[in-house]
Amino acid sequence: MTEPARRSGAARLAEGLGERVYAMLQDLGDIFTLFLQVVSWIPRPPSEFRNVVKQMEEVGVRSMPVVLVTATFTGMVLALQSYSGFQRFGATSFVGSVVALSITRELGPVFAGLMVSGRVGASMAAELGTMKVTEQIDALVTLATNPVKYLVVPRVLAATVVLPVLVVFADLVGILGGYFVAVYLLGANPYVYIAKTYQYLQMKDIYTGLIKASVFGMLIALISCHHGFIAQGGAEGVGRATTRAVVASSMMVLISDYFMTSFMF
Amino acid sequence: MIEIRGLCKRFGRKVVLDGVDLAIPKGKNTVVIGGSGTGKSVLIKCAVGLLRPDAGEILIDGADITKMNEAERVRVRQKFGMLFQGAALFDSLDVGDNVAFALRRLKLYPERQIRDVVEEKLSMVGLRDVQRLMPAELSGGMKKRVGLARAIASEPDILLYDEPTTGLDPIMADVINDLIISLRETLGVTSIAITHDMASACKIADSIAMLYRGKIIEVGTPDEIRATSNPVVAQFVAGRAHGPITDENEEFVRFVRRTHAADEGTRRG
């Protein structure tokens, strides 16, 4: 009882920090194990095709509006900012290239990833967390069904496949948003804008963005399912799991984005 | 026939099961009684392989489930049906799909027969025309009955009941008791129920075992248990607030208060 009180503040701080780091490493390890389990369950029967389609609808169709709105405004603000910046050294004709490259390489996938972390990550963690605390996951096991196969595999597959699709649309409306602001509000020449967009945009910019999106989708689904699975302690526990899932998957989107970018370019 | 030998399970430093020995005879209802948090749920979750015990054996028809790999456990689990405390129905599926869940996963019947099979299972628990309802639309008693229909759907040899009557009004509790008895008679299943409801235990049990401090301290028929000479069992059966079970708690509380006061004293001094 009295022992911890005697320790200095620094020691307690270090201890707390150590515990945090330990918990984080354990989470990472568990998520990697979950990934391996998912991979090993994918080829085994019965097929979860219907569940995958259902999840694709949940992740894809339902996230489309938020992703489109985010991407449109990102493209618009990019055009606005780069136009006023480039005006200082008379390079406004490059606004189209800047918007197109930033959106396809970076902002399209990252903002879509962050939006999906919030929307889909939260709902996956909350749904699986509720199933955990109400013993529905135990019930699955007693009904001859592996929970990883039935619940995690469809979510991971759906998110991995659907996120790049979302990003294709995000790229498109982002570039259109930039075009709209540059041409109609700032008076840029539409032919120059389109020509510059084409001139510097390569296929590689687009497909690296889509690969990133795919990885983000997989990470978001894995992390959120993991936090749902380890939820305990009723409604409060489910709330905690949901928060953790959103925070962890948003951070992982940004962290993995840096490393993927450094490998790809 | 299920035989549990020397079963131990700890969570962190808390020892929940400390060498449980129990034999569950074939075709009988065995009820495990004990206070809340004494590890009754842990015991049946170990039996069905949802939890892995730290030590001991659980022999299901002679095969030890604790030593099996996952594939073998999946096969053995098909002998089990389990009714969960809160029924644990899948809220995203309607009643029909809930009851048909294992039938579809295991492909026990062709799809066109499934509705009829499900209707038959539901009628065994006294329900009809509920297949299209969602779990959220059901009362507590109906949920338990649907949960029971789901548990018996794949025709298991062994049924596990986790607090079958908890949270139900006395009449519905008795309906569930009658169902448990009739299922044993019509299906001839072996069953284990855990409960702290003595009225239910005495009604459904062929034998009652009391779990206390991680061990089975007494096994007997309901009559034997009611006439017990063991003061711990007697207190539980009679449901008295004072007796050996609670005295220890009170002593513990007094002990904590004493040491706490002593701590305060040294800190001030």
Is B233 within 8 Å of B210 (Cβ atoms)? yes
Rounded to a whole number of angstroms, the distance from the CA of B227 to the nearest CA of chain A is 36
Other CB atoms within a 10 A radius of the CB of residue B249 amount to: 9
Answer yes or no: do B50 and A138 touch at CB < 8 A: yes
Chain B residues whose CB is inside 8 A of the A132 CB are none
Answer yes or no: do A142 and B82 touch at CB < 8 A: yes
Give the per-residue pLDDT at A113: 93
Q: Extract the tokens encoding A13.
A: 């701080």
Q: Which helix (H) or strand (E) holds A89?
A: none
Give the per-residue pLDDT at A204: 86
Task: Give residue-wise pLDDT tens across range A116-160.
Answer: 999 999 999 999 999 999 999 999 998 888 899 899 999 999 999
Is B46 within 8 Å of B5 (Cβ atoms)? no
Note the Cα B238 to chain centre separation in Å: 21
Nearest to A253 by CA among A112, A153, A99: A112
ipTM of this complex: 0.83
With a cut of 90, say whether residue A194 has pLDDT above it: no
Chain A residues whose CB is inside 8 A of the B89 CB are 136, 139
CB proximity B99 to A under 8 Å = no
Q: Where are the alpha helices (DSSP H) in chain A?
A: 3-6, 9-41, 49-56, 64-87, 95-102, 108-116, 122-133, 136-142, 147, 153-180, 190-200, 203-229, 234-264
Enumerate the domain spans of chain A.
61-264
Q: Where residue A1 falls among pLDDT bands split at 50, 70, 90?
A: very low
Give the per-residue pLDDT at A72: 93
SS3 (DSSP) at A62? coil
Backbone phi, psi, residue B24, to 5°? -110, 110
Answer yes or no: do A144 and B77 touch at CB < 8 A: yes
Position B249, amino acid: N
Answer yes or no: do B84 and A1 touch at CB < 8 A: no
Q: How far apart are CA B256 and CA B262, in angstroms?
A: 10
Answer yes or no: do B91 and A139 touch at CB < 8 A: no
Residue of A nearest to B108 (CA): A144
CB proximity B50 to A under 8 Å = yes
Query: Which residues, at least 6 apart from B25, have a Cβ–Cβ distance to it below 8 Å?
Result: B1, B190, B206, B207
SS3 (DSSP) at A258? helix
Q: How many CB pairs under 8 A join A and B?
A: 55
Residue with tokens 């001139």: A199
Answer yes or no: do A143 and B85 touch at CB < 8 A: no
Residues in chain A: 265
Answer yes or no: do B74 and A144 touch at CB < 8 A: yes
DSSP A10: H
Chain A residues whose CB is inside 8 A of the B108 CB are none
Q: Extract the tokens encoding A215.
A: 């990885």
Of B102, B151, B263, the CB nearest to A2: B263
Q: Extract the tokens encoding A255.
A: 């962290």
Mean pLDDT, residues B130-156 taken together: 88
Q: How far apart are CA B148 and CA B238, in angstroms?
A: 29
Of A1, A2, A145, the CB nearest to B105: A145
Domain B2-241 top-level CATH class: alpha beta
Min mean pLDDT across A42-46, A123-127, A184-188, B90-94 is at A42-46
Concatenating the DSSP letter of every residue in chain B gives -EEEEEEEEEETTEEEEEEEEEEE-TT-EEEEE--TTSSHHHHHHHHTTSS--SEEEEEETTEEGGG--HHHHHHHHTTEEEE-TT----TTS-HHHHHTHHHHHTT-S-HHHHHHHHHHHHHHTT--S-TT--GGGS-HHHHHHHHHHHHHTT--SEEEEESTTTTS-HHHHHHHHHHHHHHHHHH--EEEEEES-HHHHHHH-SEEEEEETTEEEEEE-HHHHHT---HHHHHHHHT-SSSHHHHHHHHHHHHHHHHHHHHHHHHH-
Give the per-residue pLDDT at A131: 93
Enumerate the domain spans of chain B.
2-241, 242-269
With a cut of 90, say whether residue A226 has pLDDT above it: yes
Is B193 within 8 Å of B164 (Cβ atoms)? yes
CB proximity B128 to A under 8 Å = no
Mean pLDDT, residues A242-250 taken together: 93
Q: How far apart are CA A56 and CA A78, in angstroms?
A: 30
Min mean pLDDT across A39-53, A250-264, B187-201 is at A39-53
CB proximity B268 to A under 8 Å = no
Task: Give residue-wise pLDDT tens across range A75-106.
Answer: 999 999 888 888 888 777 788 888 888 999 99
Task: Give residue-wise pLDDT tens across range B75-116.
Answer: 888 888 999 988 899 998 999 899 999 888 888 888 888 888
Q: How far apart are CA A190 and CA B204, in angstroms?
A: 83
Sheet holding B215-220, edge to edge: B80-83, B158-162, B190-195, B29-33, B207-212, B215-220
Q: Express as a percent the part of chain B with pLDDT over 90.
A: 7
CA-based R_g, chain B, Å: 21
Is A190 within 8 Å of A94 (Cβ atoms)? no
CB proximity B84 to A under 8 Å = yes
Helix axes A203-229, A153-180, angle to 10 degrees: 140
Give the per-residue pLDDT at B61: 85
Query: Which residues, at least 6 apart from B226, have a Cβ–Cβ distance to it below 8 Å?
Result: B202, B237
B195, B200, B204, B209: CA torsion to nearest 10: 40
Q: Extract the tokens encoding A185.
A: 């509000």
Q: How far apart are CA A156 and CA A48, in angstroms?
A: 12
- The mean of the pLDDT values for chain B is 84
- The mean of the pLDDT values for chain A is 88
